[in-house]
Amino acid sequence: MKEKCGVVGVSLKNGGTDQAALITYYALYALQHRGQESTGIATYDDKIYIDKGMGLVSDVFNKVRLKELKGSMGIGHVRYSTEGASKIENSQPLLIGYKNGAIAIAHNGHLVNYRELRAELEAEGRIFITDSDTEVIAHLLVKELLVSDFIEAIRSLMQRIIGSYSLTLLFDGMVVAVRDPLGIKPLCIGKMDGGYIISSESAAIDTVGGTLLRDVCPGELVILKDGQIESHRICRSQNTAHCFFEFTYFARPDSIVDGLLVYDVRRRIGEILVEEHDLNADIVCPVPDSGVTFAIGYSIRSGIRYIEGLMKNRYIGRTFIMPAQEMREIAVRLKLNAIRANVAGKRVALIDDSIVRGTTSKRIVDIVRSAGAKEIHMRIGCPPVISPCYFGIDMATRAELIAAHKSVEGIALVVGADSLGYVSIDGLVKSIGIPKENLCLGCITGKYPIEIPGEECIRKQLRLAQF
């Protein structure tokens, strides 16, 4: 599964300080798990300075480059491509000039009506320099700014764009944050010594020594200026649609997302897995690192001893970076090795967060089996993924999703496990603690919170945002 992006916004009180770039840099480091293809920082000091490149935060930035980014305000981005190819032109923040100035924009999410909007803007004669949906947002905003003030322009923009978006912007000496009306992607605000920080995850706020204040509300516009914070609730929706995958896969366990510590949610899922799929096993082993917190919960509730059975080579990149199927299989072996002494002759409860294609799980089961495990029982902290995501996660096509075509028993056979148990949707929702109608569960139910051509929509139940 390809992760989404991560965004940051920093505003410091002391006009004239050039620390915004450095703080943004550290925050992006803390969000590196959300995107590894490209990264960028834009700062403001009477004009916008911008620098970006392909690769990790540590590959792109150094002291010299950061020094060039002047000012007490900044935004940053780490990217894993959703709409638009992986190339420097599509990296963010995106800088758009117009007759009254310039805007830098960083986007986490995906617009489902991106193609229609782009066609409309092109028909009006607007020129696009990227193939990312973020440029559509920037063009629409510029168009609105020519006829309205900033807040009205954001209101009009939000009425046009449909999909998921957590945005940070630099505009006219302000750092701005916007979250989509359903709150699909996370976004939170923290206070720092001398200013504020906006981030996709609270772990980045902790990293820079800040304190989490709250989440940006769905449909909210936040403006940071001169060390002050200003909030405008642009629209209200009766329901939200927070992506449940943030809790099971994407966000760091030490992040607090929409008021919930991700670690606690994963531990509770592990406990519920015991209630739903108890078994006789000798040891509980996580697939590192993704299954660790679930396995701790499973061990606590079942009383079965937790022990590591697999060791991760931390110097190998994420397997999904390698595009070809055969390369992914090699990558799994490079990345994981069994601790033979711990698993040999044992009945192993092997815990992971999700199964998407099944290929990685099969290789992992093979590794544990080759190390002498007597039985392998897989327990999975996310229900079967049966439908694609349209809101910014490039997980696989429906044809590639193993659970879209096979029963649980069929998947167990493919991956080679003696048994397989997924947490149920109700168990997942109970573990998160947010009512079902306020979560996006599209990829595990096939029912989406926003209309998608050819897919079932639960819009009737979700009262749409009021602007």
Q: Residue 223 or residue 393: which is nearer to ligand SF4 going by CB?
A: 393
Q: Which pair of tokens denotes residue 201?
A: 């995850």
Among 244, 247, 306, 320, binds ligand SF4 (CB under 6 A): 244
Distance of CA 6 to the CA centre of its chain: 7
Dihedral of CA atoms 251, 367, 316, 39 in degrees, nearest 10, equals -30
Among 150, 171, 245, 263, binds ligand SF4 (CB under 6 A): 245
391 binds ligand SF4 (CB under 6 A): yes
Shortest distance, position 1 Cβ to ligand SF4, whole Å: 8
Letter for the amino acid at 15?
Answer: G
Residue of 5, 217, 243, 443 marked catalytic: 5
CB neighbour list of residue 120: distance below 8 Å, 6 or more residues apart: none
262 binds ligand SF4 (CB under 6 A): no
Shortest distance, position 164 Cβ to ligand SF4, whole Å: 6
Q: Which region, judged by CB under 6 A, interacts with ligand SF4, from 200-208, 237-245, 253-261, 288-296?
A: 237-245
401 binds ligand SF4 (CB under 6 A): no
Where does 194-316 show beta strands of DSSP type E? 195-199, 211-215, 220-225, 228-233, 242-243, 256-257, 260-261, 283-286, 305-306, 310-312
Shortest distance, position 379 Cβ to ligand SF4, whole Å: 20
Pick out residues in 271-310 that bind ligand SF4 (CB under 6 A): none
Beta bridge mates, 174 = 171
389 binds ligand SF4 (CB under 6 A): yes
Among 94, 243, 373, 429, binds ligand SF4 (CB under 6 A): 243
CB 240 within 8 A of CB 432: no
Q: Which region, judged by CB under 6 A, interacts with ligand SF4, from 152-160, 165-173, 352-360, 389-397?
A: 389-397
393 binds ligand SF4 (CB under 6 A): yes
Q: Residue 200 or residue 302: which is nearer to ligand SF4 going by CB?
A: 200
Shortest distance, position 443 Cβ to ligand SF4, whole Å: 3
CB 141 within 8 A of CB 153: yes
| String of contacts with ligand SF4 for each residue 339-378, x by CB under 6 A | ----------------------------------------
Pick out residues in 420-449 that bind ligand SF4 (CB under 6 A): 440-443
d(CA 150, CA 13): 22
Dihedral of CA atoms 268, 269, 272, 273 in degrees, nearest 10, equals -140
d(CA 217, CA 204): 18
Closest Cα to residue 51, out of 10, 8, 91?
91
Shortest distance, position 287 Cβ to ligand SF4, whole Å: 20
Q: Residue 127 or residue 397: which is nearer to ligand SF4 going by CB?
A: 397
Q: Residue 285 or residue 389: which is nearer to ligand SF4 going by CB?
A: 389
d(CA 159, CA 435): 26
Shortest distance, position 234 Cβ to ligand SF4, whole Å: 21
Shortest distance, position 399 Cβ to ligand SF4, whole Å: 17
SS3 category, 13: coil
Shortest distance, position 142 Cβ to ligand SF4, whole Å: 28
Q: Residue 68 or residue 456: which is nearer to ligand SF4 going by CB?
A: 456
20 binds ligand SF4 (CB under 6 A): no
Beta bridge mates, 108 = 166
CB-based burial, 419-428: b 16+ in 10 Å, e otherwise: bbbbbebebb
Residues near ligand SF4 (CB under 6 A), total = 11
Q: Residue 163 or residue 286: which is nearer to ligand SF4 going by CB?
A: 163
Pick out residues in 106-165 that bind ligand SF4 (CB under 6 A): none
Shortest distance, position 400 Cβ to ligand SF4, whole Å: 15
Letter for the amino acid at 35?
Answer: G
Pick out residues in 180-219 that bind ligand SF4 (CB under 6 A): 184
Does 5 participate in catalysis according to the annotation? yes
Q: Which region, judged by CB under 6 A, interacts with ligand SF4, from 68-76, 128-136, 372-380, 388-396?
A: 388-396
Three-state SS annotation for 102-151: EEEEEEEEEECCHHHHHHHHHHCCCCCCCCCHHHHHHHHHHHHHCCCCHH
Q: Which pair of tokens denotes residue 311?
A: 């060791």
Q: Residue 243 or residue 343: which is nearer to ligand SF4 going by CB?
A: 243
d(CA 210, CA 79): 23
Cα–Cα distances in Å, from 151 out to 86, 147, 154, 302? Answer: 32, 12, 5, 53
Q: Which region, judged by CB under 6 A, interacts with ligand SF4, from 26-34, 36-44, 148-156, 240-248?
A: 240-248
Q: Which pair of tokens denotes residue 322?
A: 């390698």
Q: Which residues are catalytic?
A: 5
Which residues contribute to the site for ligand SF4 (CB under 6 A)?
Answer: 184, 243-245, 389, 391, 393, 440-443
